[in-house]
Amino acid sequence: MTWHQVNVAFPEPLYQQFVRLVPAGKRTRFLTRLAETGLQQLRLEQAMDKTFGAWSKRAHPELKRGAETYIRRLRRNRRPRA
C-alpha cells in the first residue's frame, strides 16, 4: 500500500490532548482509523441523502400503519412450519 503524508493543523488544546493521550509511535494509526471511521460515516450520510424518500407512502400502502405493524401482520398470517 502506498502511503501519503498529510499536514494537519490542530488548535492548541486539541493538540495538547492528542500528544498527551496518543503515544508517539501510534499517532499515525490513530489518525488513520479516525479518518476511516469519519469517511465511513460520510458515505453513510451521502447514501441516506441520496435514497431519502425512495419508499413513498403511495408506492407502499402496506406500510401505512408502520413497518412494525406490517411485519407483525405478516408473521401472524404465516402458516406454521410442519
Domain ranges of the chain: 12-77
Low-confidence ranges of the chain (pLDDT < 50): none
Distances in Å between the Cα of 25 and the Cα atoms of 9, 13, 31, 42, 69 are 19, 21, 12, 28, 53
The predicted pLDDT at position 23 comes to: 97
Work out the mean pLDDT of the chain and round it to a whole number. 92
The predicted pLDDT at position 32 comes to: 97
The predicted pLDDT at position 81 comes to: 66
Q: How big, in percent rounded to 5, are the helix, strand and coil portions of the chain?
A: 65, 0, 35
The predicted pLDDT at position 53 comes to: 79
Q: pTM of the full predicted structure?
A: 0.64
The predicted pLDDT at position 82 comes to: 62
The predicted pLDDT at position 49 comes to: 92
